Structure 1
Amino acid sequence: MNRVILIVLDSMGIGYLPDAYEYGDEGSDTLGNIAKSYRNFKIHNLTKLGIGNIEGISSFIEKTDSPKGAYGRASEASKGKDTTTGHWEIAGLKLSNPFPTFPNGFPDELIMSIEEAIGIKTIGNEVASGTEIINRLGDIHVKTGMPIIYTSADSVLQIAAHEEVICLNRQYKICSIVRDIMQGAYGAGRIIARPFIGAAGQYMRTKNRKDFSLKPSGKTMLDYIKEEGMEVVAVGKIEDIFASQGITMSVHIKDNMEGVDKTIEYIRGGNKGLIFTNLVDFDMLYGHRNDINGYANAIMEFDGRLPDIMEAMKDEDILIITADHGCDPTTPSTDHSREYIPILIYGKSIKDKINIGTRECFCDIGATILDILNIKGQIEGSSFKSLLFGSDFNERTI
């Protein structure tokens, strides 16, 4: 076995964690509540892999008597519920302290430093919905050229600008400058460029979003795979989340289905190592907008493409499907939710009907991937490889 395909269904949590009350997320269950709310919700292929058999999953998710492979769930050990924290933990980097958030907007001294560095005043500086704030402040931005700065409950600073007022390259440059400034106590997990187009009253965000993450604070499974001379292929925003660290090849995508297409293309390419895919539409287009129908249809659309992914795989390939947090569109909140994530593992060499149980850390995924690839690395997590292949393999902590 020399290749793993890891697909993150961004925000598809499967039930709130025991500490969810600390985050105001009790009752959140992204997948379960969607299945409960959306009539005729069918995910036949995920069901065949055993998603309905996972411990604690909603009764609205169908079970199977014969799961094709292994299934389970993981609890988040790091503090937080954001994309960067979730992905870093999957890759074996557990955070003891959460990234800072800015529930009252950003301090005046920080805004002044940003404005001085980018050479222009800004507007906004508040907690807001991205779609709402561009329509409320878009006219002022177009008239003055001043970028719109805002945040959310997550550890982010977002910068919105009209593509015809500030060109994309300049927008990305501004975000890069802000990323350099926001370190230490102001080290938000991500600085996000949020380009938009349109006219007054009809502004809309484009798909030219770009994330500028902090560099990982330690080595991840990506670094160890790359050091071993294998490929680490990043599909979607993976490159941004890891600030390009540990990645050998990357491609950005415009939507989920392009992400699936690119993943299949790389699978057929025959590289050795890791194909790491993030499908962000679940979170960005539907979770944050409380769009239950959109989210449900996106899950079913992915489910319909699973056979294409599996047919492209070689006999020795291993597929792992998971998530990074929740974003329940059925709750009043429009922010991420603190939830368990699903783990589904498929491959022709994987034993069927294997329940890996509840893992105590997302990082068990990264530890298992390194173990499958026979790579030693100093990351957090306990491998569950022996559960997947039988007693011939010794489960170990990497």
Structure 2
Amino acid sequence: MKEAVPRRVILIVLDSVGIGELPDAGDYGDSGSYTLGNIARERGGLNLPHLEKLGLGRINSIIGVPAVPDPEGCFGKMAEQSSGKDTTSGHWEIAGVILERALPTFPHGFPKEFIKRYEEAIGRKVIGNEVASGTEIIQRLGEEHVRTGRPIVYTSADSVFQVAAHEEIIPLPELMRICQTARTMLTDELQVGRVIARPFLGEVGHFYRTSNRHDFALEPPHKILLEYIEERGLEVCAVGKIKDIYAGRGVTHHVTSKGNMESVDKTLDYMEKLEKGLIMTNLVDFDMLYGHRNDVEGYARALQEFDARLPEIYAALRSEDMLIITADHGCDPTMPSTDHSREYVPLLVYGPGLKKGVDLGVRSTFADLGATVAEYLETEPLKNGMSFYASIFEEDD
């Protein structure tokens, strides 16, 4: 009898790389959003030869990325069934959690009554309480923060409560304490997806964020894919903000990273060491540096830089590996808004032992991906999602 080879899944989430508006995009103010397609149109095309060979151009029309007749991967797109267009809800749905109610956002800042209670709880007045870019607000309010010791509270288009503080004014342990206090207090209609500690250093006019960020995530409402995998006795290796998004649940190893390319490096490190289980990576630069800042050229460059790394990932694959490339929502930098966009996300699946060129169609939920990973790694079935495992797996004769 042929000895079973340990199976691994390498799941890479290209944060915000959407592939066309969902039918209900208009309800979110996102009509016309198409992150990949609009970037390609605005610049006269994208050069993504390796994603092209996987079948990216077969999913939707993208200038410069033709629909190849014989893709090396399986391809399709997924609709988000959860309400909203948030990082947390997108990742949770991949892991089998579907939210009926969108996580709350605060386009006008948090209620004054809550801020007053929060100030009393942490023993400090705060400044800010507005929607802002994290890099911009520390330049604008950093001097006042240093002078007064008041932490900077702000939010974004995402469901987040962010607290920025200079590490020499509010030491990291104290910043973590006041963020944990916020996490405890933000309940019911104020129950944001993440409370984020945003420490920074530097002098007036030259403040910069440090790598000591920490996310205090909302707990998923029920068991997630990562926990099923851990319970099966397999490893779950998280790269980037994955551990924080899932509140650490099911994660057996994790590593932080700065930027997309370092995240790819650390993914490759795990691929060298991991025997069986899941490696899950979030490439945040697409969203954080380019989508939210309407930087079309930067976004295009980041896409091409990732594409150029795919041969290294292919070379590290073992015979029973499954590589999945997807996203969690859109963030179209060509649109007037700097918000996330309600879009389909691409679904590209490749592996030495998998079928090639299978059209996976339009999946009704991101949870189909999680259900497939669960079946491939032989865990218990997820609560949500329909596996496409049988469509892509080559059975032994």
TM-score, normalised with respect to structure 2:
0.95
Q: Which residue of 1 aligns with 2:3?
A: none
| Alignment check: 8 A CA contact 2:49 2:65 kept | no
Residue 37 of structure 2: aligned partner? 32
Deviation at 1:59, TM superposition (A): 4.4
**Does the Cα contact within 8 Å between 2:229 and 2:277 map onto a contact in 1?**
yes
Distance in 2 (alpha carbons) for counterparts of 1:256 and 1:171: 26
1:46, 1:210 → 2: CA distance?
A: 32
Per-residue displacement from partner, 1:181-239 (whole Å, max 9, x unpaired)? Answer: 11222210111122233333333333433221101111111111111111111111000
Matched to 1:294, the amino acid is: G
1:385 aligns with 2:389: yes
Output the CA distance in 2 between the equivalents of 1:167 and 1:289: 29
Aligned residue among 118, 121, 127 for 1:117? 121
1:316 aligns with 2:328: no
Separation (CA, whole Å) in 1 of partners of 2:25 and 2:395: 36
Aligned equivalents of 2:28, 2:143: Cα separation in 1 = 35
* Letter paired with 1:30: T
- Within the alignment, does 1:45 sit opposite 2:86 as a pair? no
Show CA shifts across 1:260-318 (max 9, x none).
11111111113211111111111111111111111111111111111111101111110
Deviation sequence 1:127-176 (CA, Å, 0-9, x none): 22323322222221111010111112221111112233223333223212
TM-superposed deviation, 1:342: 0.3
Moved more, 127-136 or 15-24: 127-136
8 Å CA contact 1:32, 1:61 repeated in 2: no
1:178 aligns with 2:213: no
Aligned equivalents of 1:317, 1:330: Cα separation in 2: 36
CA distance in 2 between partners of 1:214 and 1:122 (Å): 23
1:176-325 correspondence runs (5 A):
176-325=180-329
Deviation at 1:33, TM superposition (A): 1.2
What is the DSSP-based 3-state SS (H/G/I as helix, E as strand, rest coil) of the residue aligned with 2:206?
coil
Alignment of 1:13 with 2:18, yes or no, is yes
SS in 2 for 1:299: helix
One-letter amino acid of the counterpart of residue 228, structure 2: Y
Alignment counterpart, residue 352 of structure 2, candidates 340, 348, 353: 348
Q: Tell me which residue corresponds to 2:108.
A: 104
Are 2:370 and 2:382, in contact at CA under 8 Å, matched by a contact in 1?
A: no
Equivalent-residue separation in structure 2 for 1:24 and 1:163 (angstroms): 38
Paired letter, 1:388: I
Measured in 1, the distance between the counterparts of 2:20 and 2:87 equals: 17
In the alignment, what sits opposite 2:97? 93
Q: Which residue of 2 aligns with 1:64?
A: 68
Shift of 1:387: 1.0
| 1:22 equivalenced with 2:32 (yes/no) | no
8 Å CA contact 1:15–1:57 kept in 2: the answer is no
Moved more, 372-381 or 218-227: 372-381
Quickly say closer, same or farther: Cα 1:168–1:295, change in 2 above 3 A. Answer: farther
Using the alignment, how far apart are the partners of 2:384 and 2:27 within structure 1? 24
- Residue segments in structure 2 that go unaligned for 5+ positions in a row: 1-5
CA distance in structure 1 between the aligned counterparts of 2:56 and 2:176, rounded to whole angstroms = 39
Q: Distance in 2 between matches of 1:39 and 1:58?
A: 10
Secondary structure at 1:125's aligned position in 2?
Answer: strand
Partner of 1:396: none
The change in CA–CA distance for 1:37 and 1:163 in structure 2 (over 3 A counts) is farther
Question: Which residue among 359, 363, 382 is the counterpart of 2:363?
Answer: 359
What SS does structure 1 have at the residue aligned with 2:140? helix
Shift of 1:390: 5.3
Distance 2:168 2:46 in 1: 41
**1:391 Cα shift?**
7.6
SS of the residue corresponding to residue 203 of structure 1 reads strand
Is residue 167 from structure 1 mapped to residue 194 from structure 2 by the alignment? no
CA distance in 1, matches of 2:218, 2:265: 28
C-alpha displacement of 1:2: 1.8
Residue-pair matches, total: 392
Identity of aligned residues (%): 57
- CA distance in 2 between counterparts of 1:162 and 1:330 reads 33
3-state SS of paired residue (2:51) = helix
2: CA distance between counterparts of 1:46 and 1:35? 14
Q: Distance in 2 between matches of 1:285 and 1:204?
A: 14
Q: 2:227 & 2:255 partners in 1: Cα distance? A: 18
Q: Displacement, 1:392?
A: 8.1
In terms of mean alpha carbon deviation, does 72-81 or 258-267 score higher? 258-267
Amino acid at match of 2:195: I
Amino acid at match of 2:157: A
Alignment RMSD (CA, Å): 1.7
Question: Contact 2:39/2:296 (CA < 8 Å) preserved in 1?
Answer: yes
- TM-score, length-scaled by structure 1: 0.94
Of 277-286 and 208-217, deviating more is 208-217
Indicate the residue corresponding to 2:9 in structure 1: 4
Check the 8 A contact 2:8/2:322 in 1, yes or no: yes
Contact kept? 1:121, 1:147, Cα under 8 Å: yes
Structure-1 separation of matches of 2:336 and 2:203: 29
Quick check: 1:16–1:339 contact (8 Å CA) kept in 2?
A: yes
Does the CA contact (< 8 Å) of 1:14 and 1:57 recur in 2?
A: no
